[in-house]
Amino acid sequence: MKTGNITFIFLCIYRSPSGDIQVFINQLEVIMKLLYKPKLEIILCGDFNVNFLSNSNNVHQVISLLQTYNLCHVVDFPTRIAKVSSTAIDNIFLDYNRLNTFHVCSVNNGLSDHDAQYLVVNNVFGTQMKKNRLVRKRLLTKSRVLNFIDMLQNEKWDNTLSNTDVNASFNTFLNTFLVIFESCFPMQFVVNAAYNNQWITNGIRVSCRRKKSLFIMCRATSHPQLKEYYTRYCAILKRVISKAKELYYNKLLSECTNKSKVSWKIINNEVGHASKKKFIPSELRSDNKKIHINKAAESFNTFFINSVEKLISQYPIYEGVHPIIRKSLLDKFPEIANIPITLTEVLSTISSLKNKTSCGYDGLSNKIIKLCGEQIAKPLTYIYNLSLYTGIYPDRLKYANIIPCFKKGDASEISNYRPISLLTGFSKLFEILVFNRLKQQLTNNNIIVDEQYGFRNGASTQNAIFNLTNSVYKAWNNKELVVGIFCDLTRAFDCVNHDLLIQKLEHYGIRGSILKWFESYLFNRKQRTLLQTQNLNTSVSRWLTSRHGVPQGSVLGPLLFNVYINDFPSILKGLAHIILYADDTTIIVSSKDITTLNQKINLIMNRIHKWFQNNQLVLNLDKTHVIKFATPKALDYPLH
């Protein structure tokens, strides 16, 4: 069968259960020698009467023979199910490397005790053309980069620097920047050269074809000189390939900016663990309702917004909540200093940005910003200072692209995805500058509690684990019973209440125009969802307003969450030992007798439930566990 420029040969075979396996293998080898050609796609299927689920010698012989022709079996489930046995005696062999997008399933035909095997090979035409797929890209050639920098250098930014309205000033700057950017780096179709095996030269390709021809000749004859020549040829080719790889990888490492990332990419590629990009399935569901792929982006975006609304509706904010929270915030802290942002600070922050190519809705990556840091530092310094002085965060920095990230379970169920925000480069740059000021306020005044180990300098998961084990051993040394309560919150970052967060920031000394800035930063944020399917089509949802949470993927998000949950340990003071890592909470409870231990646990559960309720955070009961820590010889005891 011929499809486009690809010719398929379908070979159907049958081996009698009583037939001699050696005769069968010899005849199969003769047939494969006659049919095999490098440009042909062979799919071999049939009843082998050899159980591929077993580890028998017959199975190894069949598999070894067909692997010499790059054919591998794809059926790994029973195909003949009797009353007392289940075997896979029917199978399909194909070339994994060339037909790598397929699926196979079993079909009960109702006529025989053998199930039929149903094979679907996807994207037959795309398989051969995959490495030469046309993609839309911006080419950052040396001449274009120099032209880009030159045009920005000649820009005076007068309209930006003379405007006292934050949004108008930033809009003028961004519009000018985008016009220059688009003119220097227009989107165009280019051949997407695959990363894998770029070290292969035309000479190596010719040598590999020659090696394959020699291999077929050696199998057809027993001439000793030919086999010796083939062995020497293989050894020389192996050394040539090794040297070609070495030269190519050395070039990659010498030209890259992130040597660690490229090194691991090379290692994973060599050991066969190269990561495969996960695409959204073509069939999706939400609450057992099928969603057409064209409407999937809209469904994801609506789900991410509505699921948070549904969660926090369990704990509506009532009038008495704010006084309760104010009561739990004991100490007063000095006001944060509104330190102006300097030109030098902006330049150093730009140079410290990671050289990433991911970008927000505006299409501007960190890599682009780093190219022109010196040319845009002055207008950015003016805009950022104006924003902090007026307490207004630019509206066009509040927009985020959302990428659904699969967690676990059924990939077709949209509830098994979490949102990751892709913010604009100018937003991340601004956030780093504000992050440094907020962190300085929290550090200088010892505001973040010692129980918090997440997103703090000098604290890590290792410190948290040591603290956990140390508290357990300490209780054991005191002859106490020990219980750990491990709490998990459902979408904690997304459920942060903005009003409560602002109230807590004010308590910790974030006041005046800086507090207004955080209000502006949090409120009226917009998001849309981007999806890419296996055929590389991208769909985009509408913009929706996010009314809760701190953006996941932002610079300020983790630190703001630490502020939000900072007063939690105070409610259990004297009752338990607390260990926090962002939203993961561990509570170690100990006592010398069972009765007091149970009373403590019940009191703690009531208090944390009330605190989570007041702060609109939802405890995930499926992932929250109570674990008893005991030595092997200790007596078991009940928990009530």
DSSP category for residue 115: P
Contact 101, 122 (CB under 8 A): yes
Dihedral (Cα; 627, 630, 632, 637), 10-degree rounding: -80
Residues 362 and 410 in one domain: yes
DSSP category for residue 549: S
344-365 mean pLDDT: 92
Sign of CA dihedral 285, 291, 295, 298: negative
How confident is the model over 23-69, as pLDDT tens digits? 998 888 888 888 887 678 888 899 898 888 887 888 888 888 887 77
Q: Is residue 137 part of a domain?
A: no
How confident is the model over 475-504, as pLDDT tens digits? 999 999 999 999 999 989 999 999 999 999
**Cα 96 to Cα 104, 121, 267, 381, 453, distances in angstroms:** 13, 11, 22, 55, 46
Mean pLDDT taken over the chain = 86
**Rounded CA gap, 563 and 549, in Å?**
13
Picking from 391, 370, 384, 392, the residue whose alpha carbon sits closest to that of residue 342 is: 384
Supply the range of the domain harboring residue 17: 2-121
Number of domains in the chain: 5
Residue the block writes with tokens 């990428």: 403
Q: Which CATH number characterizes residue 453's domain?
A: 3.30.70.270
pLDDT of residue 39: 72
pLDDT of residue 199: 83
- Rounded to a whole number, what is the distance in angstroms from the first to the last CA of the chain? 70
**Rounded CA gap, 109 and 101, in Å?**
25
pLDDT of residue 557: 93
**Rounded CA gap, 451 and 459, in Å?**
10
pLDDT of residue 127: 44
The pair of structure tokens assigned to 462 is 């290792």
Residues 253 and 164 in one domain: no
pLDDT of residue 147: 95
Outline where 391-456 has alpha helix (H). 425-444
How confident is the model over 608-621, as pLDDT tens digits? 999 999 899 998 88
Residues 416 and 442 in one domain: yes
Sign of CA dihedral 456, 461, 465, 466: negative
Residues 298 and 368 in one domain: yes
Element (H, E) at 125: helix 124-129
Burial class (CB in 10 A: 0-12, 13-18, 19+), 242: exposed
Contact 525, 394 (CB under 8 A): no
* Beta-strand runs (E) in 51-115: 72-73, 80-81, 86-87, 90-94, 102-107
Dihedral (Cα; 498, 499, 503, 509), 10-degree rounding: 40
Residues 534 and 436 in one domain: yes
Q: Is residue 612 part of a domain?
A: yes
Confidence of residue 220 (pLDDT cuts 50, 70, 90): confident
Q: Is pLDDT above 60 for 126?
A: no
How confident is the model over 73-112, as pLDDT tens digits? 888 778 887 767 778 888 898 886 667 667 777 776 655 7
DSSP category for residue 260: H
User: Amino acid identity of 499?
Assistant: D
548-560 mean pLDDT: 90
The pair of structure tokens assigned to 105 is 């399933």
Q: Which CATH number characterizes residue 108's domain?
A: 3.60.10.10
Confidence of residue 385 (pLDDT cuts 50, 70, 90): very high
Q: Is residue 126 part of a domain?
A: no
DSSP category for residue 58: H
Q: Is residue 324 part of a domain?
A: no
User: Amino acid identity of 263?
Assistant: S
Residues 403 and 526 in one domain: yes
* Helix, coil or strand: residue 417: strand
Q: Is residue 416 part of a domain?
A: yes
Backbone angle region of 524, left / alpha / beta, with phi > 0 → left and psi within -120 to 50 → alpha: left
Residues 621 and 563 in one domain: yes
Of the listed ranges 145-159, 270-284, 414-428, 506-520, the least confidently predicted one is 270-284
Residues 577 and 470 in one domain: yes
**Rounded CA gap, 435 and 429, in Å?**
10
Instruction: State the number of CA atoms in the 13 A half-sphere of 411 facing the CB.
Output: 9
Q: Is residue 278 part of a domain?
A: no
Picking from 395, 388, 381, 379, the residue whose alpha carbon sits closest to that of residue 161 is: 379
Between 274 and 398, the more confident residue is 398
Residues 520 and 478 in one domain: no
Q: pTM for this one?
A: 0.71
**Cα 155 to Cα 151, 174, 425, 426, distances in angstroms:** 6, 13, 20, 18
Residues 382 and 434 in one domain: yes
User: Residue 161 CA to chain centroid, in angstroms?
Assistant: 39
Q: Is residue 404 part of a domain?
A: yes
Residues 150 and 209 in one domain: no
Domain boundary among 531, 547, 563: 547
Contact 282, 533 (CB under 8 A): yes
Residues 430 and 457 in one domain: no
* Helix, coil or strand: residue 347: helix
Domain boundary among 547, 562, 580: 547
Q: Is residue 635 part of a domain?
A: yes
